[in-house]
Structure 1
């Protein structure tokens, strides 16, 4: 007769599994996941540990979707796991409730639903008293920093990312998170228009990325961010080199950030008047966005088409702005309103240029107001 495993023993192994997930150590995480799956079948009945196991499968999937192309392995979809979690969520409290809300926030962020993500993070924060692990608190602060950066709430983002980095700096094994913190810090400096302060953080991120195994996603992001930074500094030849390198890596390894890289690369080429090359990159970017199911960058590539190819298609531009505003992607509204105003000014259509300048200013005010996520 086979012995029944105590659930506490399996719980310890799930904790080790989560530790490997947070370190982005895919081989170790996969081994522990397989061991946990075997032991779950031999374990004594424990409803709460099964919920913890389902949550950790969800978190494992988020890690894989960040690092690896979707087509590399057969695995459950995020939606399938999400459905299981929501079905078992009723009545849970404490640490399980924290993980449920926190991981859901991560999912919404990956869907570029930044307001929803912050909403779940704020709910998770109410359960943070149950979190005693220092690294887990760093994870929480990092994810909030990332979400607030996406909303251009730069000062709030900086507050959280510093708290995260202060912890990660104490641990050698969390190099990936250190790199990601540097991306957020540099991005916030860009939003402050302090481009010269952004670049050193990105150069450090690139250096660290080269020291990480399975680093294609990090390398492509580092090259992308440096390229974008050089574009902001109006050093366009350097910007092209880095953006092209980012896109090549993403394309070679079928990474999910390819639509983003191709959009920024195409936009840079259009701005320099390299229209023929830009059209080819933009077409590739649209195909990539459709392939990856990335509605945001599908819409943004169509915007480039409307602005630069179709003799300023006003309805096409409006359609993109409507989509962005509906999804509260205000940072992109601000950027494309400015670009559209500049194109109209170049063609001496000053009334239309003025209209989009006003749209940009209105959007900046919207960003400054932020979303009211407080309950008092």
Structure 2
């Protein structure tokens, strides 16, 4: 390798790995600064470094996703996906199937953020089918979870329940932390379907699961099920939204504030509904100002 080529390679990896470090510590703006420096050397890498380029594109798609820069995130994820898709072994089998699914997860997340639920569902189903082909249980569980999110947003609650149930069972078997996320969403959908007996059982089990994983976020979210459907306690609900605000979970704050406000509107409790609509508006403002950047990753 020529000295100049070696220098370019070192510069690329220095900035790339430093950016990855700051991404893990949730310093997203600093991470992006280093990634952009690394990108200057991307075209100077060895012609055989396609997978390194794909990995870089994927990392760029991640940081832009968390910064809610949807178009940039999707563009980089699609570029990474295209490269990974071309990588095959001597028998013609895909060698980066897992990475392809992860790219689809990012694309799915961006469609969801844009509230393009049909496009999100199409991407999530494709990712699920690809995950099944790979046989990676964690990816299969996560893909079912994503499909469930789509159906929940489309108010196709039976389909949402089915996929959340599968996701829960897979993550439960593996004792993975996503088990707690799955059981909350399953309890939430059951409650929305007015299957309150099942929702109560899942709520109680969910508390144990969240405690086992030390997942305070899910512990608080389960209070939404209790406060909205099981006991109807506005004070409990307000405590949940106070937690969202303290933890800068403005995406959750916006989504669930609208859900609570709609629920109250249907009960003709318009006075309290206004408060929660106002919370949703404030959360949207904070997201637009970049205040969500400290969200848990």
Q: Smaller-chain TM-score range? A: 0.7 to 0.9
The equivalences for 1:194-213 within 5 A come to: 194-213=116-135
Aligned with 1:173: secondary structure?
Answer: coil
Structure 2 unaligned residues grouped into runs of 5+:
1-9, 88-93
The equivalences for 1:32-181 within 5 A come to: 95-96=13-14, 98-105=16-23, 107-108=24-25, 116-129=27-40, 132=45, 133-171=49-87, 172-181=94-103
> Structure 2 vs 1, CA of residues 188 and 372 (structure 1 numbering), >3 Å: closer, same or farther?
closer
Aligned with 1:210: secondary structure?
Answer: helix
Structure 2 residue 182 is matched with structure 1 residue 182: no
1:368 corresponds in structure 2 to 288
State the Cα distance separating 1:147 from its structure 2 match. Answer: 4.0
Which among 252, 272, 278 is matched to residue 352 of structure 1?
Answer: 272
State the Cα distance separating 1:210 from its structure 2 match. Answer: 1.4
Matched residue count: 273
Which among 328, 335, 342 is matched to residue 262 of structure 2?
Answer: 342
Contact 2:64 2:70 in 1 (8 A): yes
Structure 1 unaligned residues grouped into runs of 5+:
1-91
State the Cα distance separating 1:184 from its structure 2 match. Answer: 1.9
TM-score using structure 2 length: 0.81
State the Cα distance separating 1:124 from its structure 2 match. Answer: 4.1
Deviations 1:127-184 (A, max 9, x none): 4445634323322332332344345432232232222223222223111111111122
Distance (whole Å) between structure 1 residues aligned to residue 119 and residue 15 of structure 2: 39
Aligned-residue Cα RMSD (Å) equals: 2.6
Distance (whole Å) between structure 2 residues aligned to residue 95 and residue 287 of structure 1: 43
TM-score using structure 1 length: 0.65
Aligned with 2:279: secondary structure?
Answer: helix
Aligned with 1:193: secondary structure?
Answer: coil
1:290 corresponds in structure 2 to 211
Deviations 1:261-289 (A, max 9, x none): 11111111111111111122122222222
